[in-house]
Structure 1
Amino acid sequence: MMISIRFLRALACVPLWLAASAALAVASPETEAVREPIPDILVQDQSGQTLNFYSDLVQGHRVALNFIFTSCKAICPQLGASSAALSRELAKSGESNYRVISISIDPETDTPERLQTWRSHFGDAPGWTLVTGKPRDIESLQRVLQVYSADKNLHSGAFLLGNARGDVWKRVAGDTPPARLAIALNELDQAPSAAAQYFPDVTLRDQNGEPHRFYSDLIKGRIVVINTFFADCGAVCPITMQRLAAIQKRFPERLGQDVFLYSITVDPVGDTPEKLNDYARRHGAGTGWKFLTGDPSDVASVLKKLGQFVDDRDAHSTLFLIGNDPTGLWKKANGLASAEEIGDVVASVVDDGR
């Protein structure tokens, strides 16, 4: 019925793009795409507090990660000094939405007390957290982040820098000056989001003839429910329209504010704005429900990115694609399922990150 994976991995036949909370895969010399979810393993910080690694430390923050162990005499002291200096640099500039995190790869030896002692060698460092955990959990984290080595003495000496959206990462040498690390960390938030890089920003027109850029005007910063249809469809479309009307009724205060419904025609030649206006009126569409058409090539480019393009309009999909652009969470639901079931999927996307 429904699959839930960050950033359109949930869409059949769609290339995997960057994802919030995912692991690193080399995409270019500068930044790295993300692939697998970062495990939300239980860890203990240097004060002995138990935390969920992803949801408590990483999610929603700019992060600088590295891997150390306290008995290491090679790169680890350099990483410790750089971590402390970076946290001081960020604090001095007034930054607050950041985390500098050092993860022990020798968790059986590195107790919270030992981490605290090691940390104290590098002076006061607000925002720098050291964590340890169960060996198998720390290994799984290393594998997901593609830094695992069977020999701890050969561990990665790099910093992994991630933006607050969790969709852009950069691997930086461990001996990079802390001031440069701070600049690099801040620059990641200025990079285009994965969605902005993936979706075409072609212009579509709604049932009132108003033009909208697909990503910049319709997707960016919003929670969306997208389906495909055509106005002359007499088979499944009446049912999917009923389901969208039920979503509209379930979220009356948010629809048109941060939640939007988009029905994209698979017959842009036949479905003119005037025809869609009548269709929208018959189905009780409110302000936040747009019926979209446009130049056939532009509509096709959008549908292909959504994995919804068909040559035969009667073969169009009944899937609903439900996305939360600010958090990067996308899900898909069967548009012929019950209104309650679909509404629950939509609610889970709406509530993501709250």
Structure 2
Amino acid sequence: MMGALSDKRPLEQAKLMNSFDHPGLLTNVTLLCILSSILAISTLPCDAMATTLPQENSETSQEPQEPPCCDEAKKPTPKTDDEECCEQKAIQEPKKDENCCEKPTEEEASRATAFIEAPKIADLSVLDQDGQRVQFHTDLIAGKTVLINVFFSTCTTVCPPLTATMRRVQQITKEQHGDAIRIISISVDPANDTPARIKKFGALFGAEPGWSFITGDKPTMDQLLRSLDAATGDITQHTATVLIGNDQTGEWARTYGLSSAEGIAEIASGIEQRAAVFRRLEEAADYFPNNVLVDHDGNSVRFFDDLLRDRLVLMHVLFTRCTGVCPPIIQNLKNTCAILEDRIGPEVVILSLTVDPEFDTVERLKAYHDAAELPDDGWLLLGGEKPDVKQVLTKIGAWTPFKEDHNGWLILGNTRTGDWRKLQAMASPLQIADMAREMLGESEEEATPPTETATRDK
């Protein structure tokens, strides 16, 4: 059988087969072949090696399979800024769900805002970034709208983005309110955060005047943080919320410090706007007397609290026996009422104060009101005891010992905005109505509720 096969083999194969008759030669040749194969494979590139190595299931897979070293899909991809931020946030707060690292929407940020009871903030002696000793409540909080957050200067997670957000908030609020809104950043690492260090930290973010960075000795700072409900046993786990409020109005809120700067600024702006109204009303209350007067229906009313507060008033003087300028002034103001229409009453009130309180009793004022067909709502004729009437009229510059010498001025005032003006009571009804609209915060072309339009301070 061997001979039959030999007749069919090529010459080279026959020579190889003859080597089986010499075992030593076979061994040497075999070792050389194995070594040569190993060296050749080890020097092949990765792609070539992949095609050289035997493949499993070659019948079903025609494509060469790359080994793990050449699998591009398994190489790490660069992280985006959001992913980096998310990983840093994860250090600060445990992951709560699959979407924990998504940036909150405006609606979500607004839901994260909670208006709270006014905190009892400790008035402790602390240091600012300039090394100046200040009383925390007296010097930094009292009479101001403030935003308060906590930080530490070596923080590399939540503090940098939160501080950058506060910087943008400062820019927005300065454009809207000047220096009325302040920012206070309190260190939770007072042992390391010296005034020089926190000043350098603030400078990195471009902090402007009106932004205080606070540190101090640890017992004092711990007490301060407890009063703000911001104490923490681990500085890396400090809160990322911002406390916003005004101690005059007692209006306070907490919101998420990494939400949009515009949203945070809007909360602060609303609190400041309401605080500004409060301050103007307090100033007006200090200026105007609050004497008790009597209206034409016999009701006792306090001049400031019941008549001036929170409304636009048009004030003038008269007396019921007047036959000179008083009747035409009354008619002129009636024509003004026709232009202002439904504004009279809810938002605008006309106050007609008598300069003859001893004669102008409640009955005479009522008869005068009805005879002139004045509106039942939004127009009051006022008298009372002479000392009270005299004090009120003296304050508005309208008292005279001789009733016939009374002035013909119309005083327009809005205690909410602090806007006070004066013009002749016989000015055109259209001019008076336009001025009233302007003081309410609307124009003749576009009437809008006064709460939606900024009014002018004077």
Using structure 1 for the length normalisation, give the TM-score. 0.54
Residue 166 of structure 1 and its aligned partner are, at CA, apart by 2.8
Residue 350 of structure 1 and its aligned partner are, at CA, apart by 2.2
- Equivalent in the alignment of 1:266: 355
Residue 190 of structure 1 and its aligned partner are, at CA, apart by 8.5
For residues 50 and 63 of structure 1, what CA distance do their matches in structure 2 show? Answer: 11
For residues 203 and 343 of structure 1, what CA distance do their matches in structure 2 show? Answer: 29
Residue 280 of structure 1 and its aligned partner are, at CA, apart by 0.9
Residue 201 of structure 1 and its aligned partner are, at CA, apart by 1.2
- Residues 1-354 of structure 1 mapped to structure 2, 5 A cutoff: 56-57=176-177, 63-64=181-182, 79-81=211-213, 88-90=242-244, 95=252, 164-166=274-276, 193-286=282-375, 287-351=377-441, 354=453
Residue 323 of structure 1 and its aligned partner are, at CA, apart by 1.3
The structure in which a higher percent of residues are strand is 1
For residues 97 and 238 of structure 1, what CA distance do their matches in structure 2 show? Answer: 57
For residues 393 and 383 of structure 2, what CA distance do their matches in structure 1 show? Answer: 11
For residues 78 and 206 of structure 1, what CA distance do their matches in structure 2 show? Answer: 48
Instruction: Give 3-state SS (helix, strand or coil) of 1:64's partner.
Output: strand
Specify the code of the residue in structure 1 equivalent to 2:336. I
Specify the code of the residue in structure 2 equivalent to 1:57. H
Instruction: Give 3-state SS (helix, strand or coil) of 2:431's partner.
Output: helix
Please tell me whether the aligned partners of residues 182 and 211 of structure 2 are also in contact (alpha carbons under 8 angstroms).
no
Please tell me whether the aligned partners of residues 264 and 292 of structure 1 are also in contact (alpha carbons under 8 angstroms).
yes
Instruction: Give 3-state SS (helix, strand or coil) of 1:208's partner.
Output: coil
For residues 413 and 350 of structure 2, what CA distance do their matches in structure 1 show? Answer: 11
For residues 191 and 65 of structure 1, what CA distance do their matches in structure 2 show? Answer: 23
Residue 200 of structure 1 and its aligned partner are, at CA, apart by 1.3
Using structure 2 for the length normalisation, give the TM-score. 0.42
Residue 48 of structure 1 and its aligned partner are, at CA, apart by 12
Q: Deviations over 1:111-156 (max 9, x none)?
A: xxxxxxxxxxx99995787xxxxxxxxxxxxxxxxxxxxxxxxxxx
Unpaired stretches in structure 2, ≥5 consecutive residues: 1-138, 144-165, 185-198, 215-224, 229-240, 266-270, 443-449, 454-458
Instruction: Give 3-state SS (helix, strand or coil) of 2:314's partner.
Output: strand
Please tell me whether the aligned partners of residues 228 and 316 of structure 1 are also in contact (alpha carbons under 8 angstroms).
yes
For residues 97 and 199 of structure 1, what CA distance do their matches in structure 2 show? Answer: 36
- Equivalent in the alignment of 1:20: none
- Equivalent in the alignment of 1:179: none
For residues 275 and 435 of structure 2, what CA distance do their matches in structure 1 show? Answer: 22
Residue 211 of structure 1 and its aligned partner are, at CA, apart by 1.1
Change (3 A) 1:348 1:190: closer
Unpaired stretches in structure 1, ≥5 consecutive residues: 1-28, 33-44, 99-121, 130-160, 168-188
Change (3 A) 1:77 1:308: closer
Specify the code of the residue in structure 1 equivalent to 2:429. A
Root-mean-square deviation (Å): 4.4
Specify the code of the residue in structure 2 equivalent to 1:274. E
